[in-house]
Structure 1
Amino acid sequence: MAGHSKWANIQHRKNAQDKKRGKIFTKIIREITVAARMGGGDPNDNPRLRLAWDKALAANMPKDNIERAVKRGTGDGQGDNYEEIRYEGYGPNGVAIMVDCMTDNKNRTVSEVRYTFNRNGGNLGADGSVAYLFDRKGVLTYGPDNDDEDVLAPALDAGAEDLVEYEDGSFDVLTAPDDYTQVKAAVEAAGFAPDAADVTMRPATTVELQGEDAQNCLKLLDALEDLDDVQNVYSNVELDAETLADAPA
């Protein structure tokens, strides 16, 4: 992975999400509710709920909202029953894209996802068409102003797998999904809170785009993320910092 614009990619994504806070809240609440329904309402015993809870706190969601979503999931079972579906496809220039959805109407969702791909220069693929290009990993991201050697020691002691450095000075600490929570807690306890952290689908290789190609890909990714039934969008695109600076957040 070239990764010269890693930090610019992270910052652009964060700024874009901040502008969609209402929609982000709705998606996190849905994830909390489903996680609590499937694994119980105690985040200490339910890793999926722990992750969703932490995302809610990172997004500055009021605690009352979080607790109501948990109660909805562990309550009498009333309300929408969401089905989890993953769609795979390609964006401009062969960029690999995976789209995770929660839906109460599969026909509506697949229609919206397919239309969004087609309208923005991509195409929906078959199951398994791009999934092999991604690995599920815990990823703790640090900006260029952090010292990787300081972070590495407590991370490794807590079970981290690797540290990946990028040309812009930022770096990622990688963990197995099951070790993510303990590694994150360990580095935070040591005074090295990450600038961004998640359990995500990390691409093994990336496709670098610039200029109009990059803008077209961003347009597709943003349109997919804007769909109500979409929870997460993963891609293997790597965008240069100059393009991101000119892109609308």
Structure 2
Amino acid sequence: MAGHSKWANIQHRKGRQDEKRQRIWTRVVREIMVAARTGGGDVSANPRLRLAIEKAKAANMPADTIKRNVDKATGNLEGVTYEEIRYEGYGIGGAAIIVDTMTDNRVRTVAEMRHALSKHGGNLGTEGSVAFQFKHCGQLIFAPGTSEDQVMEVALEAGAEDVLTDPEGAIEVVTLPADFEAVKNALEAAGLVAEISEVTWRSENSVSLSGDEAAKMQKLLDILEDLDDVQNVFHNAEFED
């Protein structure tokens, strides 16, 4: 089966994430607090909190820091209350953008979003203006050379929706958000560890950008990523070599 993603773009995206790893603690703390506030502090009964704590441990966050933020969110300690707001808009060449934020001041956040987009060639859209171009799902991506037959067998048995392979040989497993954790655990139990594994907004179509347009789009994405209230940026731009 042919997938929409190219391995070079996947590696590019992972590289950009690695460059920004110093900011991951701030984002993970907010995710832990919102997950605990909305679903409770019991890790065994809160899948979203489990995933957030997993991210925190992967970023070498101390256990006491994790516990302190869970306690803040569940009312055991005084802390800031964050709310989740999703923004939709357009970037260079009509590329669609979804930005997930967590903020304690929505007036500040929307002003920063609007300014960043308009200053760098994009524009803020209304709710639903681009979301229809994306699928909310779990996504696990394996490097070329991974056994497609093994991934497919384990993933589908564990409840995955689909397994896609792109021309470079990268393998993408797509799940419902609720099934992501079970599929991920089954694959890892079989010795299959994904290069990227996340609950995400997966683009259903892509906009190819190259040269100056690609550079401008990357700058816009970097600006959005660097906003303090931004948790995740999703887009359907595909950067050509």
| TM-score relative to the length of structure 2 | 0.94
How far did 1:53 drift? 1.7
How far residue 77 of structure 1 moved from its aligned partner, in angstroms, is: 5.8
Identity %: 55
Backbone CA RMSD of aligned residues: 1.8
CA–CA distance in 2 between the matches of 1:180 and 1:126? 29
> Is residue 2:97 matched to residue 1:97?
yes
> Using the alignment, how far apart are the partners of 1:182 and 1:25 within structure 2?
25
1:2 Cα shift? 7.8
Structure 1 gaps, min length 5: 243-249
Compared CA separation, residues 50 and 37, structure 1 to 2 (3 A): same
- For residue 13 of structure 1, report the CA deviation from its aligned partner: 2.5
Normalised by the length of structure 1, the TM-score is 0.91
Contact 2:162 2:173 in 1 (8 A): yes
2:201 match? 201
Q: Which residue of structure 2 aligns with residue 75 of structure 1?
A: 75
| Partner SS for 2:43 | coil
Q: Is 2:96 the counterpart of 1:107?
A: no
Shift of 1:4: 7.6
The answer on whether the counterparts of 1:142 and 1:170 sit within 8 Å (CA) in structure 2 is: yes
Total equivalences in the alignment: 241
Most deviating of 56-65 and 215-224: 56-65
1:41-98 CA-partner distances (Å, limit 9, x unpaired): 2222112112212222333333333222222222336221112111110001000001
Tell me which amino acid in the other structure corresponds to 2:228. D
Q: Distance in 2 between matches of 1:175 and 1:233?
A: 20
**Residue 233 of structure 2: SS of its match in structure 1?**
strand
Matched with 1:247 is: none
Distance 1:229 1:154 in 2: 37
Match of 1:130 in 2: 130
Task: Give the letter for the 2:29 counterpart.
Answer: I
Distance 1:199 1:239, change over 3 A: same
Question: For the Cα contact (< 8 Å) 1:4–1:168, is it kept in 2?
Answer: no
Cα distance in structure 2, aligned partners of 1:60 and 1:209: 36
Answering whether residue 23 of structure 2 is matched by residue 23 of structure 1, we say yes
Alignment partner of 1:38 is 2:33: no
Partner of 1:153: 153
Alignment-derived partner of residue 223 in structure 1? 223
Q: Distance in 2 between matches of 1:75 and 1:112?
A: 30
Residue 167 of structure 2: SS of its match in structure 1? coil
